[in-house]
Structures are given as structure tokens and as C-alpha cells.
Amino acid sequence: MSTPIVMPEAGESVVSGVLTAWTKDDGAWVERDETVAEIETDKITVEVMAPAAGVLKRAAGEGDDIEVGSAIGEIDESAEKPAGAPASESKPAEASANGSGGGTATAAPPKTEAKPGDKPAPKPEAKPQATPEPAPSSNGTARATPLAKKLAEDNKIDLASVQGTGVGGRVREQDVVAYMQSGGSGKAAPSGASGSGPSRATSVERMSPLRQKVASRLVEAQQTAAMLTTFNECDMNAVMDLRKKHKDAFGDKHGIGLGFMSFFVKAVTNALQQFPKINSYIVAGEDGKPSIQGHDYQDVAIAVSSPKGLVVPVIRNAESMSFAEIEKAIKDFGTRAKDGKLSLDEMTGGTFTITNGGVFGSLISTPILNPPQSAILGMHGIKKRAVEHPEGSGEIALRPMMYLALSYDHRIVDGAEAVQFLVSIKESIEDPARLMLDL
């Protein structure tokens, strides 16, 4: 009896994904609910679980497009569990292949002889399927793209010897090409018949579903919204002094560091309450004509960089959260974004977005709207600049300044509102007491 392994539902708008990795070998014994594969959609990475215990039989390869509900393989429930193999063992051939001793290697033969029905037991020892997979190396257990595997197989190259440059050490097609050009050293040799001159090699890498989705949404924003950007600058000295004075006590009490982002989130929610249209969407009304959908809450999305691209997890009801709660939420999002553990629900439904290019050294930029939202705030690097201080004094002083950029949809937000909104944020940052007093 065999049970198919199908791609599960991953959200209402998700219809397909790309099989990025098998986490179990073909022919390996797996337990029920054990992760056997990972499928990347345009929003999240889905872990595919074994529907039953048995022997895994793959039907799809890494890099294949998989539709929701379609089978990527099956579990042979009628197969016998290999003797002596632990339930969580994903590569039972490794112990015998490397010639090591140990209890598993010596205990297996007697059990096989005593139980003739255990015929599948020798299978793991002769698993040619495991050969194309890269062996553990200095950068961890590498994996390879389908094109890289095919190229390596055609040229009889051991992928374990190829240095991967993809995410997590993944071996790409160009890595195999570079390995061949270098004569096996792993470093690309110069192109040309004489072996001299600069390389003119090219490479093509498939765009991930997440990157495709981000690209389509950015184009959508530029094509559908009347997008403008207004700029201002704020003096970060007051926030920096407040943070320096209380960061130790804050960390001791709440178990989290006090960063700049919580100040900006609080400043944004305060400003959104003053200018509710900036917290609104343009939607189709019952008559099909454009209408304005308002929100009596502020769900602030925070743009986070992840290995697979930009994601924007949402802090729900940010207006009711404390500084410590905001900091903990942001740290949690950042950690899980790097591990690809954010859920679809956590990345949908924001009413406003904050993006911080300053962490990468950006001095100024024009952020693009995150549809269907009407505005996005861009933070930038803090630089000491000569400005008038105190204001109106005629005196010049070096102050830690940050440029702020607000991109907004002019169809729903007037220029005056956008400017005043940004001024409200500036005032809150330059005088943090306003945030404590809800001014």
C-alpha cells in the first residue's frame, strides 16, 4: 500500500510553488509527520510532512514547479523498516558506506539472517540515489540545484568537491562550471585559449517565487498608484540620549534591547491617529467604484531582509503595545525571517509599512508602496551634519541627523497631509516625551 505525498494548502492565494529541497533520500525510511521536503511559494516556505511511515519514493525533483494538491512522491507503507535503523535516520547508508564499526554495523547482519522477511534491509547499503548529493563539507551539508546535479553527473564530477556559492552553501550550475574551468581547484580559471585574460562567463539563476512576487507587487504599486515622496530630517540626539540613559535598566527589566525602531513605530501610530487617511486603503465599493476603507487600528508592517528576499511581517495593533513589546516582536520577526519560519498570516494585512535602509548604509531613498497600503516610511542612516541648533538661534552645531522619506498614494492622501504626517513623526522623535504623554 502506498500513500501519496501532496503539496498542502499554503494560503488562499497560493496555487503553486517550487520544490527547493528534499530533506530525505529516495528509498529512505521515514516516520509519519517527519519532514521530507521543502516547497517555496511566493509568500512562505512550506514543509511537507510524510503522511505515513514507510519508504520514501520520490516523483519530483528539486527545482520542479508543484501545484497545490499535486503529488511529489509517495510512501510505501508495505515496506519493512530496516533492521537497526533509528526512527529519525534519514541516511542509513552512511554508517556502512564509510566503513565505520559501531553497534549498528555489527547488529544488522544477524537480524537480517534471523528474519528472512527483512529483505528491504540491505537497500540502504546500495543506494545510488544518495551519491549525487553533496557530502558534508567545511561549509556544512551542501545541496545542489537540479542543473548543477545534471552537469556534475554528465561530467563525472563529485559534487562534494565543489564549493557552493548559493544560499546555505547550495551548489549552483555556475559553481560546477567554475570547478571544471579551474581543473578541480574550485576557483574559476581565466577564459580564453591561452589561459590568460579576464573571465567573460555568464550565469542564469531562476528567480525564486518570493522574489517574483515582490517584483510583481512593486510594479503594481508603480503602475496603479499616484505615488509621490516627501522628505524631512530629524535630530536623533534626544532619542539617542534617552536610549543611552535607560538601555541597561530597560534590558534588565524586559530582557530585550532598546532600539530606535520602537520609537519610530510609536511615532507612526501616533501620527496615523492624527491622519487616518494615511492608514486607509482604496478598495472597490459595492457599486464597483473606488471607495476608502478606513481602519480604527494601526497594523504596522516592518520590512525585514531575509536570505530569500524582502518580507514584511506585521505588528498587529501596534498602537496598544509598549516599547518592550514592540522590540520583542521585531526581534522575533527578524530571527524567524532568517530561518524562513514566518507564516503567511504574519505577512498580510498591514495598514502601514516602515522600512529601514539605514541599517545597510542608505543615506536617502524613495521607498515604494506596499499595496494596498497608502503610505510607507523610509528611515535612513544617522549622520552628523552641520545644522542650526537650537532652532532660530543662528548657531551652527554638529548634530546626529536622519533623513526621513514618506512615499504616499496621492489618490487618497493630499500633499499637505503627507507633509504634516512626516512633521508629526519628526516632532515625536526630536521630543520623545510627546510619545509618553500621547501628544
Q: Which residues are catalytic?
A: 410, 414
Q: What is the CA radius of gyration of the chain?
A: 28
Alpha-carbon distances of 3 from 70, 75, 133, 224, rounded to whole Å: 13, 5, 25, 46
214: cell is 515582490
Element (H, E) at 199: none
Strand pairing category for 396-409 and 382-388? antiparallel
433: cell is 516625551
Other beta carbons within 10 angstroms of residue 179's beta carbon come to 26
93: cell is 547508508
**Structural contact between residues 100 and 125, judged by C-beta atoms closer than 8 angstroms:** no
Instruction: Name the one residue in this structure whose C-alpha cell is 529601514.
Output: 356
Burial group, residue 26, by CB count within 10 angstroms (0-12, 13-18, 19+): middle
193: cell is 585559449
Strand pairing category for 16-22 and 35-40? antiparallel
Instruction: Name the one residue in this structure whose C-alpha cell is 536622519.
Output: 402
322: cell is 509598549
Question: 311 phi and psi, to 5 degrees?
Answer: -125, 155
How many residues appear in the chain?
A: 439
245: cell is 540613559
| Beta carbons within 8 Å of 115's beta carbon, 6+ residues apart | 83
